[in-house]
Structure formats: structure tokens, C-alpha cells
Amino acid sequence: MDESDPDPHRVALAIDVGGTTLAAGLVTTAGIVVRRAERPTPTAGAGQGDVVTAALLALIDEVLGPGSDDGPTPLVTCVGLACAGPIDATAGTVRPVNIPAWRDEPLVASVAAHLSGPPVVLVNDAVAMTVGEHWRGAARGTDDVLGVVVSTGVGGGLVLAGRPRLGPTANAGHVGHTVVVVDGEPCPCGGRGCVETRGSATAMVRAALAGGWRPPGDGAGPGAGSADRSPAGRADGRALAAAAAAGDPRARAAVERGAAALAAGFVSAAALLELDLIVVGGGFAASGPVLFEPLRRHVATRSGMPFLQRLRVVPAELGRDAGLVGAAALALRRRDDVTAGSG
Ligand SMILES: [Zn+2]
């Protein structure tokens, strides 16, 4: 634990809900994750919201249960709940594009009832990642940053003038649903031509399969069919990134196409807000140069105006902890604001 932590035993419970993974952790006031647990997001369709909620509450019980660490169980004083968007922070509900089982799901009420005590702050998962990276990661010391999560979908969050820019219902920063293809294909959000229709790992895999790429083990061997959400063998972002890194031209073409769409969204956001820094995290960003080389190249070729040429696109530094750290930061700040306001 960080020796400088002023309050090591009063922690935030942080929760990060994504289309692929549910994560929960205990985070100190110094932003250190002292305990974490995760499990796959259950595959559940419309009307099966209870299945996903039950998995999340079980995960919370796991992280709050007796730990393997020797010290006393920390006291949870607030809860930061990050969830894939869109969310409605005012109503406390979520309807993640990539979790179809939840439509206007009252997630804040479910979590609050389960914990019966500490206040629950709901934030967009990509906003949480951005705040985490601004606090302790790649965007330290920067006033203005767009954080982007490239995974099942494409999420985004903004810190402007040093503070999270949330918007009235906490949906500001949804760069994945800015439009980069006029009259483009339908997006799961209900719009058309969004960045996410090409730039998500899901879209890149789909494009690669359409171009003739097949993941290793497809249709034969022990690996075939082992991933229940990938009927065509292990046709997921990890397999695609590995194939692209190995030089498979169909995989590379799909990543190139996705990177171009992401870059178009990045440059548009930077032009709108005069951003110098975009931090990219999420499962597919972990593929490293496979994504960042074409991404930076496409950003460079689209950055015309001088101020855009300062734009840097860098990998997130906190990895899978970024969302937890950011959700905790927002919950701790809200707790401190309330405490200060009542004192
Ligand atoms: Zn969209």
C-alpha cells in the first residue's frame, strides 16, 4: 500500500461493468486498488436482466468478503459504479448498447439496496477510465483529455479544464457514436455511420471475417467452439490482433479500416475541443502497435490545422484498473464534497 495514503482503511468500492467483463475492487483515497475480482459478463438477452444483475451482486460480495490480505477489512465509505453507456445518472438507470438484457435497468437502486449504506455514484465506464488515467495514468498533469475505450464497443469520456465533463445525464464524450460515415451502416445505438460501426473490436472482427479471415482452430481442433459467444471459433479481438501482428493481410486490412474510423473520430473531437491528448484503453488497445501504428498514421494524415498537429494518441497506463480507479475517484470526490458541504 502507498505509504503516503492518508486514509488507508476508508476505501471506495469501485465497480466496472462492461459488455465483456464485470470487475469490482476496493480503492484507497490514494487511488491504489487493494483488492479486485472479475468475471465474464453473462450472455443474456432481453428480459434476462436479473441474470446480469445477480452476477454483479455476487461479484460485489466476493470483493467485500474475507480477503487473502492480512490487514483489517477496509471500511467502504462510498461506491463508484461505472457502466457501459448510455446511462442516465439522474435516474440511476443504464441501457448499455452491448448488454441487451439491461434496458433502463435501475442499477443504482439494485446496488444500493444490496449494500444498504454508502452512497452510489453512477458514471459512464469510459468516463471512469478517463478520470482514472487523468488521476494516476497517462494523462497525469494534462488539463484536457479524451479517453477512449476500444473493446466490444467504442466508449469515450472527457476531462476538460482539469475536471470531468459529464453532461446533464453523464453521457458527454461518447466519441464512439459520433458520425464518421455519412449514410453509413446502422449502429447498435440506433444511429448510422458511427465510429463504433467500424472501430470497435466487434466491427473489426466482423470486417475481417467478411474479408475471408478465419481464426485459428475454426471448425477443427480442441479450441473450436470453446467460446460460447464466438460461433466461428475464437473470432474475437484478441485472435484478430494476433493475426494482424503475425502479418495476416485480411486481419491487417480490417484493423486498418477500424483505425481509420477511430482516427476520424479522434481528429473531429480534437478539432472541436482543441485537445492535445487522447488516451486509448480497452481490451483491443492492449494489442499495442497493431492498433497504435495505423491509428497514429491515420490521425496524422487527417490533422490539417496547426493546432491539431500537437495531438498525441497514447496507450492507457492503468490497464484493467483504470475504470476502477476513476470510478473510485468520482465517488470519493462526491463523498468529500458532501462532507465539506455539511460541515
Ligand atoms: Zn452509434
Q: Is the pLDDT higher at 11 or at 343?
A: 11
Query: What is the 176 CA–ligand 1 centroid distance (Å)?
Result: 7
Query: What is the 202 CA–ligand 1 centroid distance (Å)?
Result: 13
Query: What is the 101 CA–ligand 1 centroid distance (Å)?
Result: 18
What number is the average pLDDT over the span 59-83? Answer: 84
pLDDT digits (tens, 9 = 90+) for 90-103: 999 999 988 999 99
> E-strand spans in 3-151?
10-17, 21-27, 33-40, 75-83, 87-88, 93-94, 120-124, 145-150
pLDDT digits (tens, 9 = 90+) for 121-140: 999 999 999 999 999 999 99
pLDDT digits (tens, 9 = 90+) for 132-191: 999 999 999 999 999 999 988 899 999 999 999 999 888 899 999 999 999 999 998 899
Measured in degrees and rounded to the nearest 5, phi and psi for residue 222 equal -65, -25
Amino acid at site 303: S
Query: What is the 178 CA–ligand 1 centroid distance (Å)?
Result: 7
What number is the average pLDDT over the span 240-248? Answer: 96
The answer to whether the peptide bond before residue 6 is cis (omega within 30 degrees of 0) is no
Query: What is the 61 CA–ligand 1 centroid distance (Å)?
Result: 34
pTM score of the predicted model: 0.87
Q: Check residue 76 and give its pLDDT.
A: 92
Query: What is the 1 CA–ligand 1 centroid distance (Å)?
Result: 41
Q: Check residue 229 and give its pLDDT.
A: 40
Q: Check residue 2 and give its pLDDT.
A: 43
Query: What is the 194 CA–ligand 1 centroid distance (Å)?
Result: 5
Eight-class DSSP state of 231: S
Query: What is the 99 CA–ligand 1 centroid distance (Å)?
Result: 14
- Determine contact, residues 52/20, Cβ cutoff 8 Å: no
Q: Pairing between strand 75-83 and 21-27?
A: unpaired
H runs (alpha helix) in 125-236:
125-136, 196-199, 201-210
Query: What is the 41 CA–ligand 1 centroid distance (Å)?
Result: 21
Q: Check residue 225 and give its pLDDT.
A: 38
Give the number of residues written for the chain.
Answer: 343
Residue 62 has which C-alpha cell? 466476493
- Determine contact, residues 38/55, Cβ cutoff 8 Å: no
- The CB density around residue 91, as the number of other CB atoms within 10 Å, is 13
User: Measured between alpha carbons, how far is 219 from 22 in angstroms, rounded to an integer?
Assistant: 29
Query: What is the 148 CA–ligand 1 centroid distance (Å)?
Result: 15
Query: What is the 264 CA–ligand 1 centroid distance (Å)?
Result: 15
Q: Average model confidence (pLDDT) for the chain?
A: 90
Q: Check residue 233 and give its pLDDT.
A: 64
H runs (alpha helix) in 45-167:
49-64, 107-115, 125-136
Nearest one of 24, 15, 207 to 121, comparing CA atoms? 15
* Torsion 128-129-135-136 (CA) sign: positive
pLDDT digits (tens, 9 = 90+) for 14-51: 999 988 899 999 999 999 999 999 999 999 888 899 99
Q: In this model, does residue 226 exceed pLDDT 80?
A: no
Beta-ladder partners of 37: 24
pLDDT band at 216 (very low <50, low <70, confident <90, very high): confident
Q: 220 exposed, middle or buried (CB, 10 Å; 0-12, 13-18, 19+)?
A: exposed
Q: Is residue 172 left, alpha or beta, with left meaning phi > 0 and alpha meaning psi from -120 to 50?
A: beta
Angle, CA 70 vertex, CA 67 and CA 74 arms, to 5°? 60
- Determine contact, residues 40/107, Cβ cutoff 8 Å: no
pLDDT band at 222 (very low <50, low <70, confident <90, very high): very low
Q: In this model, does residue 9 exceed pLDDT 50?
A: yes
Query: What is the 191 CA–ligand 1 centroid distance (Å)?
Result: 5
User: What is the percentage of the chain residues whose pLDDT exceeds 70?
Assistant: 89
